[in-house]
Amino acid sequence: MAGIAKTGFSVARTTTYTELQIGGTLTAGGDIIAGRAFMRGSWEDGYFGNSNAMVFSPADFISDTVGRPHNISLKTGAPWTVDIYCAEGPAGGGQFIATKMVPKGFKITSSSVLTIWAQPTGATPFATNAMTRVQGQRLNENGDSTVVATLTGTVYTFGAGDVTTTTVPNILTLSLAVGGITADIVGDGFTQIVIVFVPGQVLQNAGGLMGAQITMERV
């Protein structure tokens, strides 16, 4: 077989896959292209083994309101859970910001969907008072960054149809096709995704901001 520097290989077939075992060194004059670059025990290349989405924990979000950092809510019970919340309402104009590097070889496109899990104070669900911004920023060698993509209107205001009004949490969903992303956000080792969430009302300390995710696809 061309490209194998040492002999001693075998092919084993199971009911689900074919396995190539090489006892020596494998060399290739060109690229080795695989449908999945790496997979073992359900781990895939992408974001922490997830090739479909980037996941944001509550701690990934930072409040931009000076002197009012987000608080930690420890909900006791069996089992207990940890959430973050911040007493920020429309008057305070508080917002939460999270950033992550887009995995190299993946991109966020108009087919991507952003989901945010959060719980407002009281029984009133998020309807038209919550907003989000999504944009891509590429880090430059001089330390600053360049915006490479954003929503068409910069800010997207959630409507009643974007919110699943369960008790805890409310689920806010935005298809970037609806928000109008201006360009693909392509992971190249320097480009990050920025998510800004403006609750528009106080978040309760029995739920608060529970996290978010945004779907992605391979380049």
Please say whether the beta carbons of 169 and 210 come within 8 A: yes
Q: What is the pLDDT of residues 100-156, one digit of tens each?
A: 999 888 999 999 999 998 887 766 677 667 889 999 999 887 778 899 999 998 899
CA distance 154 to 83: 28
Task: Report the predicted TM-score, pTM, of the whole model to 2 decimal places.
Answer: 0.73
Place of tokens 């959060």: 118
Strand ranges (DSSP E) for 23-130? Answer: 39-40, 43-44, 53-56, 62-63, 71-75, 81-85, 96-101, 106-108, 113-120
pLDDT of residue 124: 65
Q: What is the pLDDT of residues 28-38, one digit of tens each?
A: 666 655 554 44
Taking the C-alpha atoms of 214, 202, 82 and 193 in order, what is their torsion angle to the nearest 10 degrees?
20
pLDDT of residue 182: 93
Q: Which of 93, 97, 99, 100 is nearest to 130 (CA)?
A: 93
Burial level of 66, CB count in 10 A (0-12/13-18/19+)?
Answer: exposed
Please say whether the beta carbons of 93 and 216 come within 8 A: no
Please say whether the beta carbons of 201 and 124 come within 8 A: yes
Domains (ranges, CATH) in the chain?
9-43 (no CATH), 50-218 (2.60.120)
Whole-angstrom CA distances from 118 to 35, 40, 58, 134, 166 are 36, 34, 10, 17, 10
Which of 4-8, 23-27, 112-116, 124-128 reaches the highest mean pLDDT? 112-116
Hey, what amino acid is at 143?
Answer: G
